[in-house]
Every structure is written in C-alpha cells, then in structure tokens.
Amino acid sequence: MSELERELFEQRLISIAKGLDYPRTPDIAVAVMTRIRPAARPRFISRRLAWSLAIMLVLVSSLLSIPIARAAILEFIQIGIVRIFPRPTEPPVDMISTATAGSITPMTATASLPSATFIPSLSLIAGETTFADAQQRVSYSILVPAYPPDLGQPDYVFVQDNDGEMSILVWLDPRQPEQVLMSLHLVPQGSWAIEKAEPQLIEETNVNGQRAIWATGPYPLRLHNGELDFTRLIDGQVLIWADGDITYRLETGLPLDEAIKIAESLQPIP
Amino acid sequence: MDETTLIRHAANGDASAWEPLVQTHQQAVFRLAYLLLGDPDDAEDIAQETFLRAWNHLKRFDQTRPLKPWLLSITANLSRNRRRSAGRYLAALTRAFRDEPSPASIEDKSTQYMEANDLWKAVQNLKEPDQQVVYLRYFMDLSVAETADVLQVAEGTVKSRLSRALEKLRAIIKQEFPVFIEEHEGREA
C-alpha cells in the first residue's frame, strides 16, 4: 500500500467503524459506586474478607489439602525473609506465614504435580494481571530470567498486594502446556514472612555469590496469616535466595544447576 | 471541578469525586471491552472491574497524565485475561448460538451498520495485539500518542503495529468482504 492508499484506507476504516452498533452503555457508575461506598468504611475488613475468600478457594480447589500440622521449631537458616528449619525426626512441614492478615501465599507447583488439578486452580489464584500492570503496581523492579534463552515472558502473572506486594510469575511447559515449568515469587522485605520447615532435603548453594538454599519436597505447606490456617502438600523443589530487599523463591521441577542458571540470569524485562 | 482536581480528591479517598470520572469514561471503557470480548455482559463486568481497580490504585496513578488511556489500558489487560478463561468461551458460544440473528433481522440493519459489523468481524481475525491497536486507533478514535499510552509502548511501535495490522486487515477484507475493498478502490479512483 502506498502512503496515500494507506491514508485513504485508514480514513475509510474510521468512517465505517463509527457506524458500529454498540449495545447501550450500562450505568457502570452506579454499580461501581455501590461497590466502592460500602467498602469505604470497613475497607480493612472487606479486604481481609476478599483475601480470605481467595484463600478458601485455593483451599477448596486443592485436592492435596491435608490437616494442619504444627512443627516444633527451634533453629533456622535465614535467607531474606525466609526462615528454613532443618528437619528433625518428625514428619516434614513447610510453614509459610504472613505478618499481615489476609495475605495469601501463592499456590505454585512443579511439573510433578498432577496437571489436571493445577491448571484449573491457577485461575483461582487471586491477583492475576499482566506483566506491564504488575510492574506498574509494585514498587520494585520485577526481574525475569534470561535463561533459558527461549523461555520468554511468563504465561501468568499475579500480584498479591495486601500491605506487601508479592509478585508471582508462572511459566508453562511449552511441550506440555497443561503443566507448569516453573514459578518465581518475588517477595519484598516488610510485611511478609515465610517460614519453611523440615523439607526432605536442604542443600546450601549460592546465587551470584550470595548464600542460597535448595529445598526439596514432598512436604506439607502451611499457610498461616493469624486467622486463617491451612495446609497443603507441595511436591517440588525450591531455590531461595535474596538480592537486596527482595527475596526470590523459584519453584521448579528442573535440577539444581539449571535452577541456579535461571536465578543468575534474572534481569529487567528488555 | 476539572479532571485533575477530581482525580486528586478521589486519590485521597473521596468516592464522590470518583463518580463523575466513572460517568465520563464509562462509555469508552465499556465499548473497548465490548470490542475485545464481543459480549455486552462480559463488557459490563470488565468495565466495572476496571473502575474498581483504578479506584484501588489511584494513589499510584501519575495525576499529571490523562485518565482515559490508563483506564483503557486496564480494560485491555482485564479483557485479555477474560478471553483466556475457558468458561467464557463456552458461555460466549452458548450466547452466540442463542443470539444468532435471523437473515430477516440482518436485512433490517442499515448498510452502515452492516459495513461496520463486517469490519469488526474482519478485525477479529487478526492476532490479539493487532486487534487492540486497530480498535484503539480506528474504533475508539484515539491518536497514535494516546494509543501508545494505552498499550504502554512507543509511538513508533504503534505505527509499525498499525502498518502491519492494516496490511493483514486489507488482505482479510479482500478475501472475506471484497465489496468493501471494491468500494474503497472505486472511491480512490
């Protein structure tokens, strides 16, 4: 198309598009204000309730839910905001808690989780958004792995912002898109606290010269926020490291050396 | 009160300042969601969600920027997520089956409507990023700068996407709706 042809074509498009018969615009303002105004007074309670519902959805959706177990915790290894408790002789428990009420620790899985249960439950995780929106909403730079080179952008992005902006990036396995290849959590210093106890295996390693921990399941995962408390089984491997104020948690079915390469390749999105 | 003042008040928690802003932009938001989703019920849901999300994040909004591109950006993102929901496709299919217009009802529509509807159908054959840029630029009548703001890309990127989308759209129209091209070329001549 020549420049002139293009211009004429554009003008025609605009002219024709104006004739589109849109449905009458509903009164969005009334519906929105009804939803905003009741929330304005008990805002804190409503947010808590919303997050509680999200947590409950995850709980209900999980076929792997198990009764709550409480571990005796005496000593721990600290990486960023994560505390890892060595495994005694008791059954393992990976305990995750939040310092603020209502926050939800993202449910993630590895390739070893049954795909039929994981993908539907992805849609139940609160806070799905786009990468661009996530970056706009959080106060830190969301880094993504440059390795492997063909990884691309995450298939799912979540921001769970409840007085603590946790970002969760999820990549599906391109060869088996019903399965998760890996997920990366970025947790800022502050309101969140994660406690991981008694994984099957704890291996000290390093990422970019910084101390890191490689923990292997299966083990129960406990989510706790003061009022809500439930446990589900995680059957995966997690690499945990910190860089400045951000703690990273990479869940993947890939081996440790690959996980480290991924971790060391984090960079701002080009 | 002008828009900037209303935004400032709303960002400070004044819900009464948010209402006129919703009223001002609700049509654009609803229409973009409708274009992207093709279903008025879904579009209404997305429009509501857009204004609720914007309200919840107003403090972080750069108040020196116009509100509309930001709102449309949220709308586009939410619509994209909604399109990925398998349940929505099933519901849309059901509605499409239920609401399929009869030939008689189609005949009742004006030529202008028919052309616009054909154009919309043609755009739906494009890939999602191309659809977005075409809807924003030609259906929502946004400038290149505003479109770039909504899509959070450079103006040059918008221009190159438009160029690519137009070529594809022209090819689709030529194949599926040749009358449109014939009329267009007739007018050029």
Q: What is the interface pTM, i.e. ipTM, of the complex?
A: 0.80
Last residue of a domain, one of B54, B85, B100: B100
Q: How many domains does chain B have?
A: 2
Answer whether A133 touches B (CB < 8 Å).
yes
Domain of B50: which CATH number? Answer: 1.10.1740.10
Does this model's pTM top 0.80? Answer: no
| B107 and B187 fall within a common domain | yes
Q: How many other β-carbons are positioned within 10 Å of the β-carbon of residue A201?
A: 12
Rounded to a whole number of angstroms, the distance from the CA of B94 to the nearest CA of chain A is 19
Chain B interface mutation, best of A34, A123, A133, A159, highest count of B Cβ atoms under 10 Å: A133
Residue A54 to residues A49, A184, A254, A270, B57, Cα–Cα distance (Å): 9, 20, 29, 32, 20
- Which residues of chain B are within 8 Å of residue A129 when distances are taken between CB atoms? 77, 81
Please state, in angstroms and rounded to a whole number, the distance separating the CA atoms of residues A104 and A101.
9
The DSSP element (H or E) to which A79 belongs, if any, is strand A77-79
Chain A residue at shortest CA distance from B49: A32
- How many helices (DSSP H) and strands (DSSP E) are in chain A? 6, 17
Choose one of B43, B67, B100: the last residue of a domain: B100
pLDDT-derived band at B47 (thresholds 50, 70, 90) equals: very high
Specify the CATH number for the domain of residue B141: 1.10.10.10
Question: Which region, left, alpha or beta, applies to residue B161 given φ > 0 means left and ψ of -120 to 50 means alpha?
Answer: alpha
**Pairing assessment for the beta strands A210-216 and A201-207 based on DSSP bridges:** antiparallel
CA distance B2 to chain A (A): 18
Q: Do B180 and B148 fall into the same domain?
A: yes
Q: Which residue is closest to B77 within chain A, CA to CA?
A: A130
3-state secondary structure B115-129: HHHHHHHHHCCCCHH
Domain of B127 in residue numbering reads as: 101-189
**Which of B100, B134, B169 delimits the end of a domain?**
B100
The answer to whether the peptide bond before residue A270 is cis (omega within 30 degrees of 0) is: no
Same domain for B65 and B7: yes
Task: List chain A pLDDT tens, one digit each, 270 residues.
Answer: 778 888 888 888 888 888 888 999 999 998 899 888 754 443 343 444 444 444 444 433 332 333 333 333 345 666 665 655 555 544 444 444 333 333 333 333 333 333 323 344 555 566 788 888 888 888 888 999 998 888 888 888 888 765 567 888 988 877 766 667 888 988 877 545 555 555 666 788 899 888 888 887 665 555 444 444 444 455 678 888 988 888 898 988 888 999 999 999 998 876
Report the residue from A12, A19, A33 with minimal CB separation from B112.
Answer: A19
> Same domain for B125 and B44?
no
Q: Which residues of A touch B187 (CB under 8 A)?
A: 8, 12
Task: Look at the alpha carbons of B104, B110, B111, B112 in this order and tell me if their dihedral is positive or negative.
Answer: negative
